[in-house]
Amino acid sequence: MSAATAPPFINLKGVGITLGGNPVLRGINASIPRSRITALLGLNGAGKSTLLKILIGEISCRGKVIFRCGHDHTRPAPKHVGYVPQRLRVEANLPLTVRDLFGLALGRRPLFFGARRDEARHLRMLAEVRAPANLLDRWVETLSGGELQRVMLALALDPHPELLLLDEPASGIDFLDKLRYYDDIAAINARDGTTVVLVSHELELVRRHAHHVIALSGGTVAFEGPPSGLPESAELGRLFGR
Ligand SMILES: Nc1ncnc2c1ncn2[C@@H]1O[C@H](COP(=O)(O)OP(=O)(O)O)[C@@H](O)[C@H]1O
Ligand SMILES: [Mg+2]
CA of 51 to the centre of ligand 2 (A): 9
Domain count for the chain:
2
CATH number of the domain encompassing residue 53: 3.40.50.300
Does residue 150 sit in the same domain as residue 172?
no
**Which atom of ligand 1 is found nearest the CA of 168?**
21
CA of 125 to the centre of ligand 2 (A): 26
Tell me if 15 is assigned to some domain.
yes
Report the residue among 26, 43, 49, 201 best suited for mutation to probe ligand 1: largest number of ligand atoms under 8 A from its CB.
Answer: 49
123 is in which domain, residue-wise?
A: 91-160
Tell me if 86 is assigned to some domain.
no
Query: What pLDDT score does 115 carry?
Result: 60
The four Cα atoms 19, 25, 31, 35 give a dihedral, to 10 degrees, of: -40
Tell me if 82 is assigned to some domain.
no
Tell me if 83 is assigned to some domain.
no
- Pick from 111, 134, 160: which residue ends a domain? 160
Query: What pLDDT score does 114 carry?
Result: 55
Cα separations in angstroms, 86 against 120, 166, 169, 200, 242: 28, 8, 7, 11, 24
Query: What pLDDT score does 233 carry?
Result: 73
- Pick from 160, 185, 214: which residue ends a domain? 160
**Which atom of ligand 1 is found nearest the CA of 20?**
4
Q: Which long-range contacts (CB under 8 A, 24 or more apart) does 146-152 make?
A: 146/173, 146/174, 146/177, 146/181, 148/88, 149/84, 149/173, 149/177, 149/181, 150/126, 151/98, 151/101, 151/126, 152/84, 152/88
In the chain, how long is the greatest CA-to-CA distance?
60
CA of 6 to the centre of ligand 2 (A): 29
Run means of pLDDT, 10 residues per run, the chain, 242 residues = 72 97 97 97 95 94 91 78 82 79 76 66 94 95 90 94 94 87 96 96 93 96 95 74 61
Does residue 179 sit in the same domain as residue 156?
no
Does residue 220 sit in the same domain as residue 176?
yes
Does residue 105 sit in the same domain as residue 32?
no
- Pick from 113, 128, 160: which residue ends a domain? 160
What residue ranges line ligand 1, CB within 6 angstroms? 19-20, 24, 42, 44-50
**Distance between CA atoms of 168 and 81, rounded to whole angstroms?**
17
Write the residue with the smallest CA distance to atom 17 of ligand 1.
Answer: 47
Tell me if 84 is assigned to some domain.
no
Tell me if 195 is assigned to some domain.
yes
Does residue 138 sit in the same domain as residue 189?
no
Does residue 18 sit in the same domain as residue 68?
yes
Query: What pLDDT score does 4 carry?
Result: 55
